[in-house]
A and B are shown apart, each in its own frame.
Chain A
Amino acid sequence: MNNLELISLYKSLYLIRHVEEMISKNYSKGQMRCPVHLSIGQEACATGLISNLKLTDKVFSNHRCHAHYLAKGGSLKKMLCEIYGKKNGCVGGVGGSMHLQDLDKGLVASIPIVSSSIGMATGNALYQKRRKSNEVTVIYLGDAALEEGIFFECANFAALHSLPIIFACENNMFSVYTNLKDRQLDSNFKKYADAYNISYKRLDGSKIDEVYKKTKSIINFVRKNKVPYFIQMDTYRFKEHCGPAVDDHLEYRDQKEVNYWKKKCPIEYAKKLMKRKKINEKKVETIQKNIEKFVIKEFKFAEKDKLPSYKDAERFVYV
């Protein structure tokens, strides 16, 4: 990974972090009137993998979709307008924060029911295979998705038909407030991949260099061999499951564990990497400032954008 690549990755990471922080900060103003599942802490899982994809590769996401959407190049303006429930939202205000999509950028759909988008993603991979296309499909799923039947149904099908799909599992260890320990035998997901003879790799999802380098070769492998792959990325969400705040006062997470992961903050980690590579700190500051300026501009646009007309509510039920 050269310095240019690292800087480009940092831009994506910082954009996601800053947008999420701004949502968190401004949420209490009561203008973003939909549930938000912030990606703070999980940025490297999105940026590291998606930065290796081509524009034509397809990504499917879930309720916690902001990072995936932004990493794939989705329009920030349209994302914020969507969260603000405004006319220029990426889906015109019908979806809110959990249904982000940008078809021009290959973020096909985000579906907020755990595991629901796995079927569609597998179908997309089937289509790619049948059309002999060179694209790959990435489905982002959480640890709880591995408890749903549809994951196993699709893993079986993807393996059986040898489909070019990457199951990108972000293990943040919690399903809302419930610890993985209370839901699964252990935190090693290899057993699920093994069941269908699917290749498996476990990564530290807070380390951008690790995720970027390893997923680059995995994506090439999947593209070349047209096979499914399962990637486990261990990560941590810093905020509450849903909403702008932290919920650690509820004491469902061990404070030591929280501190451990916060020390592993993906943004700070990337900064250290840049320092080690002697990338000028001033340059980093300028990058951050430019991103902040851009983000403020888009927030202002979204705040000022018009609400959609109620007349649009009944459109597109049928094609």
Chain B
Amino acid sequence: MSKTEILFTDAIKDAVYQSIKKDKKFFLMGEGVSDPSSMWGTIKGVSKKFGKSKTVEMPVAENGLIGVAIGSALNGSKVLINLQRVEFALYAFEQIINNAAKASYISRGKHNVPIVIRLVIGRGWGQGPEHGQSLENIFSAIPGLKVVIPAFPEDAKEMLISSIFDPNPVIFLEHRWLHYSKGKVENKFKIKKLSSFKKITNGSDLTLVANSINLLEAFRIAKLLRKYRIRLDLLNFCMPNPFDNNLLLKSVRKTRRIVSIDLSHKTLGLSSEIISTISDNKIKLKTFPIRLGLPFHPVPSSRGLVKNFYPSGKNILIAIRDALNISDKLFRKILNEYNKSTKKIPIDVPDPYFKGPF
């Protein structure tokens, strides 16, 4: 195992180039698949190097073209579709839900649809109501789809390769702010089994569940609390669909306390599923489960309006305080240290901490 510290975007690029080498039938589709911005540099040079044998320009016709990808995939072609925003995929809900998600089921396994739809999600710089959604709970409500959400650069490469080589259709949700992060990434091509949860830190006091950009904040907090002998079992909820709850239940049976953070709206979000599963499995908690997430209104553009919109580090710390019944004195100390470690930055640009390295 040899690892190199690289950018998240380069980790994606690595996955793409190595997948091209591994599978002759693999190709990329995208709106502007060969344009100079190259999806934040993640597919830079692919078109130049491999030409039309590996890239198919996608007219701005998401439903039809995802249908085309499905039709190619039925024959065994692996297709990576690159869309600049999750909202464009809404045009293709019909194909994604009716055909991609059901081809295997209807054909009794004779068809499979090995496509990956990379969708950029995220916040910042006034993206607004129709450029700032994540919709992971919506995609996760459909049997037959896989929903994969990387957080660290290491995830980006490993999970993208595993998604490309997965025979099922995968929705791959990439947060814009993660693109700028750095971390150690395995050099080699490796396919790993995708699972719903990945253990990030080990602890017996409380289970903290987060994904994507929220995981980075949660990771910072887990490290901070360690100094105060508060040990969190931090789980990366990296594949909400299909939902395998083994690691979650194991963790909660140990900690008997949980805080879960939604990337999307709290109401009807994925934390509802997390907490319901704990209840279904009759696990008695020591304190009430807590969930954090976005309020139930669209994402506004103005930085004035998003002031309390996203769960902050402080929100997470308060939730943990409530779950663990941390004394006011200790909490003030922790919060003080947290505030000192975080720089005062505007709410609409990424925290420098998110750059890593991780």
Q: A residues bordering B, Cβ < 8 Å? A: 91-92, 94-95, 99, 101, 103, 108-109, 111, 113, 116-127, 130, 149-150, 152-154, 156-157, 160, 315-319
Contact = CB atoms under 8 A, between A and B. Distances in A.
Given A101-B107, A153-B59, A317-B143, A122 B99 contact: no
Contacts of A318: 104, 144, 146, 168, 242
A113 B94 contact: yes
Given A91-B107, A317-B143, A156 B68 contact: no
Given A124-B75, A126-B68, A149-B63, A119 B99 contact: yes
Contacts of B167: 319
B66 interface: yes
Nearest to A101: B107
Contacts of B63: 119, 149-150, 153
Interface string B154-174: 000000000000011000000
Name the residue among A103, A123, A150 with the largest chain B CB count within 10 angstroms: A123
Interface stretch (B108-116, B185-193, B197-205, B296-304): B108-116
B108 A94 contact: yes
Given A157-B61, A318-B168, A318-B242, A121 B99 contact: no
A183 B67 CA distance: 25
Name the residue among B68, B95, B106, B144 with the largest chain A CB count within 10 angstroms: B68
A156 to B, nearest CB: 6
Contacts of B195: none
B77 A127 contact: yes
A120 B112 contact: no
A145 to B, nearest CB: 12
A9 B59 CA distance: 40
A197 to B, nearest CB: 15
Contact of A122 (B64, B105, B106): B64
Contacts of A126: 56, 68, 71-72
A91 B108 contact: yes
A124 B103 CA distance: 14
A120 B59 contact: no
Contacts of B64: 118-119, 122, 149-150, 152-154, 156-157
A119 B67 contact: yes
A146 to B, nearest CB: 14
B119 interface: no
A317 B142 CA distance: 10
A123 B74 contact: yes
Interface string B86-107: 0000000011001100011111
Contacts of B213: none
Nearest to B110: A103
Contacts of A118: 64, 67
B218 interface: no
Given A122-B67, A126-B56, A317-B144, A116 B61 contact: no
List 9 A-B pairs, minimum CB-CB distance, nearest first: A119-B67, A123-B71, A153-B64, A153-B61, A120-B71, A123-B68, A319-B167, A123-B72, A124-B71
A72 B28 CA distance: 33
Given A123-B67, A317-B143, A318-B242, A116 B74 contact: no
A291 B315 CA distance: 74
Name the residue among B71, B73, B105 with the largest chain A CB count within 10 angstroms: B71
A126 B56 CA distance: 10
B71 A122 contact: yes
Interface of B: 56, 59, 61, 63-75, 77, 94-95, 98-99, 103-112, 143-144, 146, 167-168, 242
Contact of B106 (A99, A125, A127, A156): A99
Given A122-B67, A154-B67, A315-B109, 10 more contacts: A94-B105, A109-B106, A119-B67, A120-B67, A122-B68, A123-B67, A126-B56, A154-B61, A317-B143, A318-B144
B143 to A, nearest CB: 5
B144 A121 contact: no
A6 B105 CA distance: 39
Contacts of B104: 316-319
A70 B105 CA distance: 22
A48 to B, nearest CB: 25
B72 A124 contact: yes
Contacts of A113: 94, 98
B61 A123 contact: no
Contacts of B108: 91-92, 94, 315-316
B109 to A, nearest CB: 4
Contacts of B66: 119
Given A119-B99, A149-B64, A157-B59, A319 B109 contact: yes
Contact of A156 (B56, B61, B99): B61
A122 B61 CA distance: 13
13 contacts: A91-B108, A109-B103, A109-B106, A116-B67, A116-B94, A123-B71, A124-B74, A125-B71, A126-B56, A157-B59, A316-B104, A317-B105, A319-B112
A157 B75 contact: no
Given A101-B107, A127-B77, A316-B108, A153 B65 contact: yes
Contacts of A156: 59, 61, 64
Contacts of B168: 318-319
Contacts of A319: 104, 109, 112, 167-168
Name the residue among A95, A120, A121, A122 with the largest chain B CB count within 10 angstroms: A120
Given A120-B74, A123-B68, A156-B61, A91 B95 contact: no
Nearest to B66: A119
A317 B242 CA distance: 10
A172 to B, nearest CB: 23
Nearest to B113: A319
B70 A119 contact: yes
Contact of A108 (B61, B72, B74, B146): B74
A111 B98 contact: yes
A71 B137 CA distance: 43
Contact of A116 (B77, B99, B111): B99
